[in-house]
Structure 1
Amino acid sequence: MVIDSHQHFWIYEAEKHAWIDDNMKVIRKDFLPEDLKIIYQQNNIDGCVAVQADQTLAETDFLLDLAAKNDFIKGIVGWTDLRATNIDEVLEKYSQFPKLKGFRHVVQGEADHNFMLRPDFLNGIAALEKHNFTYDILIFPHQLGAALELVRRFPNQKFVIDHIAKPYIKDGFYDGWATSMKAIGEHQNVYCKLSGMTTEADYNNWTSEQIEPYIQLVLDAFGADRILFGSDWPVCLVAGNYTKTKELVTNFIAKLSPDEQAGIMGKNAIKFYNL
């Protein structure tokens, strides 16, 4: 099965989706399962993991509702405030939904570099482990140090790095990011999504040659059995289309064994998220 491990749905609202700036106005509209279904048929994708884009419990419930109505949505990564004092109770409640696989916080938007190491947040991660939920790490490169400390502290928690930690591909920023990613990759409980890469490059002028060194580093650091293809649809549309986004990965991994390719394009997502 080919699984897109990272995409979003939303009903567009200017205030709620204020992060969609003028350079991204092509995605200032609704994106729903009926839109994605057509794209998946054209690109031979069997299913997906829908990831939160808004930090509310209403968002988690919205995604659960879509997943209940659409069989191709195989899993959900929702949001809940991991710092909440009643986090156990909340996770207990959400444990009854088999398609809810994990949670994410938009840590890239937090001013504190060490946000993930605050005691209340760590308490939330400990609760995730207890309830068998995954955690998606969404950060910028300057937050990789905190991420490394986080994954060290929870060796039994399943983590996945979203969008290869958003290196500044457009500016050619590589070395510091690469060093940190290698260190994180040494931890067997951490996976990495090959997603969101074209939007870290120049939207209109990116080339596969420019992005491939970053993919190679991720492959070297995590190995073919801990990396997952993700489209980041519809965000990927600001830097191309779905087919180009998918081909960036499939062309690069064509040199790997059929088994490794099948892992990256689906099996690893099935294993990580228990789809």
Structure 2
Amino acid sequence: MTGGPVIDAHHHVWDLAVRPQPWIGGAALAPLARTFRYGELARQARESGVVGTVVVQTVCVPEETPELLALASGRPLLAGVVGWTDLTAPDVADALAALRELPGGERLVGIRHQVQEEADPRWLLRPEVLRGLAAVADSGLAYDLVVRPRQLPAAAEAAARLPELTFVLDHLGKPPVATGALGPWADDLRRLAALPNTAAKLSGLVTEAAPGRWRPEHLAPYAGAALDAFGPRRLLFGSDWPVCTLEAGYREVLDLARELTAALSPAERRAVFHDNAVRAYRLRPAAGAV
């Protein structure tokens, strides 16, 4: 197991025969317009020393999360599910409790909504959304933030208002890698990271870069800014498979993350690639067994 045990804290699966993925459109995303099953991911993960994974929702419909929970049931490698529920619904607490009662419900570790698709940059601060986020906290779950840079200030304000909820930033907030710019993304990232109830995923960077420009020298400024902001105790590795395959294979993404964190101590690298995911998502130790 090169480099120690790994938990892949961010990947997806989908079956186009079961449900379309409306976000897959245009020539650039055409390679993703097929079914990606967990077995395909699991083979690559095990070969790469991965001992646990966290599957993350892709569409904001109530049917997907029960399917992901059922998929996790009986699969020790699939340690956690980040699902979806309507945060604005008045019965969000009941909906979360119902998910926990389903087959595989004990694997529910977080909730996510495609905030990046919301036109309102302050969507997270709407009263009904904050009420829903409070219910997520009360359920003992984390909340995954999938936002664009312009939405980072609202994410920081929401995290400040709900210190009892762990906010996990997906893909470092989608920094402007393709342009080579750092600000204002880096400044807003630091404001979010200043809050102790936040963490971030070292994930999704290869597809934020310009095509073919995802090598360490292109991504190091962004990974470095995240390490400076969150520190190695609040940064989690995620492959973002299969979206990453638009630019790089599973093992390439893992090797890239290891290179970007090569200056860390062995204990710090273990935190990034394993321990931080266990802590942020409250993963059960046995769930990461191969």
TM-score norm. by structure 1 comes to 0.97
Show structure 2 runs of 5+ residues with no match. Answer: 284-290
> Aligned residue for 2:34?
29
Note if contact 1:33-1:70 (Cα within 8 Å) is conserved in structure 2: no
Query: Distance in 2 between the 1:187 and 1:67 partners?
Result: 31
Residue-by-residue CA offset, 1:106-152 (whole Å, 9 max, x unaligned): 00000111110111101100111111111000000000111111011
1:7 matched to 2:11:
yes
Q: After the TM superposition, which residues 15-94 of structure 1 pair with which residues of structure 2 at under 5 Å, given as runs?
A: 16-21=20-25, 22-94=27-99
**Distance change >3 Å, CA 212–CA 13, structure 1 → 2:** farther
1:154 matched to 2:190:
no
* Shift of residue 13, structure 1, vs aligned partner: 5.9
Residues 40-49 or 222-231, more deviating: 40-49
Identity %: 37
> Aligned residue for 2:257?
249
Query: Distance in 2 between the 1:156 and 1:186 partners?
Result: 15
* Shift of residue 32, structure 1, vs aligned partner: 1.0
* Shift of residue 233, structure 1, vs aligned partner: 0.2
SS state at 1:199 partner: coil
The one-letter amino acid of 2:42's match is K
Residue-by-residue CA offset, 1:223-269 (whole Å, 9 max, x unaligned): 10000000000000001111111111101212111100001001100
Note if contact 1:49-1:77 (Cα within 8 Å) is conserved in structure 2: yes
TM-score norm. by structure 2 comes to 0.92
* Shift of residue 207, structure 1, vs aligned partner: 2.2
Q: After the TM superposition, which residues 113-152 of structure 1 pair with which residues of structure 2 at under 5 Å, given as runs?
A: 113-152=121-160
* Shift of residue 92, structure 1, vs aligned partner: 1.9
Residue-by-residue CA offset, 1:149-203 (whole Å, 9 max, x unaligned): 1011011111100000001210123110000001111111000000000100013
The one-letter amino acid of 1:257's match is S
> Aligned residue for 1:184?
192
Note if contact 2:66-2:99 (Cα within 8 Å) is conserved in structure 1: no
Query: Distance in 1 between the 2:22 and 2:179 partners?
Result: 24
SS state at 1:3 partner: strand
User: RMSD across aligned C-alpha pairs, in angstroms?
Assistant: 1.4
Which of 237, 261, 269 is the matching residue for 1:261? 269
SS state at 1:175 partner: coil
> Aligned residue for 2:221?
213
* Shift of residue 14, structure 1, vs aligned partner: 11
Runs of 4+ displaced beyond 4 Å: none
Query: Distance in 1 between the 2:236 and 2:28 partners?
Result: 27
SS state at 1:122 partner: helix
Note if contact 1:49-1:73 (Cα within 8 Å) is conserved in structure 2: yes
Query: Distance in 1 between the 2:32 and 2:219 partners?
Result: 23
Query: Distance in 2 between the 1:131 and 1:172 partners?
Result: 40
Q: After the TM superposition, which residues 164-183 of structure 1 pair with which residues of structure 2 at under 5 Å, given as runs?
A: 164-183=172-191
Which of 103, 106, 118 is the matching residue for 1:98? 106
SS state at 2:55 partner: strand
Residue-by-residue CA offset, 1:5-31 (whole Å, 9 max, x unaligned): 000010126983232232121121111
Note if contact 2:153-2:192 (Cα within 8 Å) is conserved in structure 1: no
Show structure 1 runs of 5+ residues with no match. Answer: none
The one-letter amino acid of 1:122's match is L
Note if contact 1:134-1:159 (Cα within 8 Å) is conserved in structure 2: yes
> Aligned residue for 2:117?
109
The one-letter amino acid of 1:241's match is G
> Aligned residue for 1:235?
243
